[in-house]
Structure 1
Amino acid sequence: MTRFDARDAGQEPTNFLYPFIDAREDDAQSLLADLAASAEAKAAESLALRRSTLESNAESLGRAAAEMARRFAAGGRLFTFGNGGSCTDSTTLAMLFARPPIGKPLPAWSLTADQAIVTALGNDVGFELVFARQLIARARAGDIAIAMSTSGNSPNLLAALAEARRRGMYTVGFAGYNGGAFADNPDVDVCFIVGSQSVHRIQEAQALLGYQLWVAVHERADATGVTMS
């Protein structure tokens, strides 16, 4: 049996993340120092991006929060959706609104939470319509749709946003890079863009944006005396 040598992992596609691991360093302290420096650099990069993202999206956050607070007060409901890592982020965001650590719970659901529905629709009508068809069945005018994506180009998210627009919903998109197809899209009322080329950093910043949106919705309701149902 051929013995596996970790130093032969240089061909792995993820090698670019920690190139110094494959540098055949014999000094353990040097390797640990490199690992620590890499972690610190990534943390600093993430912090800087999150700060700049909040600044660049401040006006959009205020606008979206005001409209969402108004719609919640009128009986509107929130539906979130995304793919992959953005699926988990959209589910976390829905849970934050529906079961907050403090403040008033608001009606919010993730369209990825029910595996039976997602797989049935994917099998019966196609994955591109797994979210749009749920909105057809559940959503109504006055509701809110939030689509989360790193690229802003996912066909099933775009189909759902188009359906949301047809149904009179308020539509919010989260995207990375330059916003992709979410940006300047007539089906998207507000698009939060995280200007980064790293999927990891994009999703970290989007998580903070989602939290800030939740905070801003409650602050806007309190400031205007709006009672959210």
Structure 2
Amino acid sequence: MTDAMSSLYPFLYDDTAASGARSVDAVLAEVRRSTEDKVREIMELRRRVHREQGELLAACGAAMAERFARGGRLFSFGNGGSSTDAADLATQFLDPPPGTPPLPAFALTAEAAVVTALSNDVGFDLVFSRQIAALGRPEDLAVGLSTSGNSANLLAAFDEAHRIGMLTIGITGGEGGRMAELDSIDFLFRVPSSSVHRVQEAQTTIYHVLAELAAEGAQ
């Protein structure tokens, strides 16, 4: 943990800083440099995603718009921080910018009673696939987020959504993990970074762009 923290906040783990030999101005300067480095890193990562996956984003946005136009609903899901992103993704459709009609979207992590009941009674690996089996229709959309691409409950959810005939969209990091091996994902977006922090930041941009494209196309 110390190694990970020191890579994020090197100015807090400097030996001279611990001894008090460094001035406050020196520490603040290091904080500023660290912040600027992170900003440059995420900006370049977002530009790279646009360069390498821009056409895929456009195609996915069009496919999403077509499903919504047919009366489809979006179901989003993820674990941990990705569950929060899944909820934010659903909110982008339910509460769009002025002038854009709302679209039906639901986060499968929103109902604590449902999540805990399924986790307790049938197992956490099926917590999303069971909900999709109960609620999903062929015209619907399933969007799963994972920084590693290896979450068993996401893999099961994509397989179930694909079985039903739903449009399936995966957003992950690195090389895509086990999600990259699935035949049940129609559109897979990969953020090429090993940093969970940078991956999640870029994933936010991806699903915001998809939300805008889908909403515009569905009008």
The normalised TM-score by structure 1 is 0.89
Return 5+ residue gaps in structure 2 as ranges.
none
Which range is displaced more, 168-177 or 64-73?
64-73
Letter in 1 for 2:82: S
Q: Which amino acid aligns with 2:209?
A: Q
The structure number with the bigger radius of gyration is: 1
The DSSP-based 3-state class of the residue aligned with 2:137 is coil
Does structure 1 retain, via aligned residues, the 8 Å contact 2:103–2:215?
Answer: no
Determine the C-alpha separation between the residues in 2 that align with 1:214 and 1:117. Answer: 26
What TM-score comes out, normalization by structure 2 length?
Answer: 0.93
| Residue of structure 2 in register with 1:217 after alignment | 214
The reply on whether 1:18 has 2:9 as its aligned counterpart is: yes
Q: State the shift of 1:111 in Å.
A: 0.2
C-alpha displacement of 1:67: 1.1
SS at structure 1 position matched to 2:165: coil
Q: 1:184 Cα shift?
A: 4.7
1:190-224 C-alpha deviation (Å, 9 max, x unpaired): 00110001000000000001111011113334xxx
Relative to structure 1, is the Cα distance of residues 92 and 156 closer, same or farther in structure 2, using a 3 angstrom cutoff?
A: same
Q: Is 2:62 the partner of 1:66?
A: yes
- Give the alignment partner of residue 34 of structure 1, picking from 30, 37, 44: 30
Gaps of 5+ in 1: 1-9, 222-226
Q: How does 1:84-103 map to 2 (within 5 A)?
A: 84-102=80-98, 103=100
The structure with more helix, counted as a fraction of residues: 2
Give how far 1:19 is off. Answer: 2.4
Shift in Å, 1:66: 1.1
Aligned residues: 213
Supply the AA of the counterpart residue of 1:20.
F
Aligned pair partner of 1:119 in 86, 99, 116:
116
Aligned equivalents of 1:32 and 1:93: distance in 2?
35
- Structure 2 counterpart of 1:50, which letter? R
CA distance in 2, matches of 1:56, 1:217: 20
- Which amino acid in 2 is paired with 1:57? Q
